Amino acid sequence: MNGTVPSKSASWLLGFGVFFGLGSVLFGTVWSGKAPTQPILFNHAIHVSSGLTCEDCHAGALTKEKATLPGLDICLGCHQEAVTPKPEEEKIRAFARAGREIPWAQLTRIPAHVYFSHRRHVTLGGMKCAECHGPMENLTEPPRRPFRPLNMDDCVQCHQQRKASYDCNDCHR
């Protein structure tokens, strides 16, 4: 170096390059990684159009802290015998014959230090499942990522909009 200070345009260009370079790396790491593959290409749209609700398959969504992913027994309630000739449906009975639960990949994880209750949010707070999980009724195959990231800023913003308490001890263990 010759001891001169870089021009403003050179500094701006360097900053721009670093910002977008790091952003690309971080975005690529978070969003282009291999998304989990579900064991069955579940079609939410067809099930919802048949009259099923979220809680028909996701037990506890209205009454418990945690909503469950559908167990084999839930699926076999309708699919013990073939309803359609689709191979995805046959996978349900194959899991049953093998004596195995369906190994759904869980997409949304709540940190261990956070207390979250579906019952409190859906039944008492009047929230719709789609507010956090998106328009599942439109999906013809399983989502590959959560509809929205779950982070504290989003939670606090929602609590403020609904005039719900956002005292630390309400959500943090």
Q: How confident is the model at residue 24 (pLDDT cuts 50, 70, 90)?
A: very low
Q: What is the mean pLDDT of residues 152-172?
A: 91
Counting residues of the chain whose pLDDT is more than 90, the rounded percentage is 70
Q: Does a structural domain hold residue 10? A: no
Cα–Cα distance, 32 to 30 (Å, whole number): 6
Domain count of the fold of the chain: 1
Q: Does a structural domain hold residue 132? A: yes
pLDDT of residue 20: 45
Q: What is the mean pLDDT of residues 7-15?
A: 51
Q: Does a structural domain hold residue 27? A: no
Cα–Cα distance, 36 to 106 (Å, whole number): 9
Q: Does a structural domain hold residue 63? A: yes
Q: How confident is the model at residue 149 (pLDDT cuts 50, 70, 90)?
A: confident
pLDDT of residue 16: 44
pLDDT of 63 strictly over 60: yes
Q: Residue 88 burial by CB count (10 A; 0-12/13-18/19+): exposed, middle or buried? A: middle
Q: Does a structural domain hold residue 80? A: no
pLDDT of residue 31: 45
In eight-state DSSP terms, residue 123 is I
Q: Does a structural domain hold residue 14? A: no
Identify the domain containing residue 161 by its residue range: 44-69+104-171
Q: Does a structural domain hold residue 116? A: yes
CB atoms within 10 A of CB 137: 16
pLDDT of residue 9: 55
Q: Does a structural domain hold residue 24? A: no
